[in-house]
Structure 1
Amino acid sequence: MCDYSLEMYASRPAREGEIYVTTRFPSGSIGLAAPGDCTTAVCVSYGTQLNLENLPADLQETLKVSASEKIVFTRLESGLHHDGIKFANGSEMPLHRLGAGVLASLVDVEKPVAKEIVHEERVVELEPAE
């Protein structure tokens, strides 16, 4: 989703295969945007997995994470900002705490394999009526 603090900007949904960067919008809020387009907020659905790269060193140390991490975009119930991220180690934080310059991309979601359902034809022979 896009936090309410980004509602005043044009927005669009995230797309598989694109790279985004955390951006400080003119309102001061941090959100995702395509590189070179700081006027359009990119919205991500809660529950979406993202790869983050270029995490700030202070966050790496504080949260015990590396410079690149797979996270889940989540809704935080408390605080001013509700767009949040959850790391594999269970740490959660508001998206805006990342600051500007962190790269993000959607985790490649395997396309579900279509399962072929074979219906057996059942032939029932009826005895002739007498």
Structure 2
Amino acid sequence: MCDYSLHNVASRPAKVGDKVISAKFSNSITGGFAAVGEPDVAVCLRPGTEIAFDQDVVYSRGFGLIPPRFGYVTTPQRVARFRQVGMHRPNTHHDALEFPNGEIVLVTMLREGLTATVLQLPADPEKKPAVEIAVRQDASLTA
């Protein structure tokens, strides 16, 4: 997903192996992930997507719209799972990363220029595995 404030930015869904970079977008009040080499295209992650950063993750404790008032924080965690938080509040930032230690950081708070690789996309519950469909078809043929 891409946060509500990225709706005016060109976007595409993430793919396994994508190299992404944390970025601020010129048509938006927020930040997100851009494809490396495509700074004006937001890469949208679905909840459950796992990414691995190339370096320790640095993020702001500020409010996102102004330079960080309280400085930056660095976490040595380099693997995170994308999730959405605060969905009951429609006009707030929802895109977040959850780290293995339980720490949750809004994507818009990431320092610009952090690079990461998309490791794994979540399973799509709408799609049934081909094997399961084939087994059901075989069973219906013998009935």
The two structures have a TM-score, normalised by structure 1, of 0.72
**Is the CA contact (8 Å cut-off) linking 1:50 and 1:71 kept in structure 2?**
yes
Map of 1:99 onto structure 2? 111
**Is the CA contact (8 Å cut-off) linking 1:24 and 1:99 kept in structure 2?**
no
Paired residue secondary structure (2:97): strand
**Is the CA contact (8 Å cut-off) linking 2:34 and 2:43 kept in structure 1?**
yes
Map of 1:9 onto structure 2? 9
- Runs (4 or more) in structure 1 with deviation over 4 Å come to none
Shift of 1:15: 1.1
In 2, the alpha carbon distance for the partners of 1:46 and 1:108 equals 11
Greater percentage in strand: 2
Gaps of 5+ in 2: 60-71, 122-128, 139-143
What is the identity, as a one-letter code, of the residue corresponding to 1:34?
A: A
In 2, the alpha carbon distance for the partners of 1:80 and 1:52 equals 25
Measured on the aligned residues, the alpha-carbon RMSD in Å equals: 2.7
The two structures have a TM-score, normalised by structure 2, of 0.66
Map of 1:56 onto structure 2? 58
What is the identity, as a one-letter code, of the residue corresponding to 1:81?
A: H
Shift of 1:59: 2.4
**Is the CA contact (8 Å cut-off) linking 1:74 and 1:84 kept in structure 2?**
yes
Task: Find out whether 1:87 has 2:99 as its counterpart.
Answer: yes
What is the identity, as a one-letter code, of the residue corresponding to 1:41?
A: A
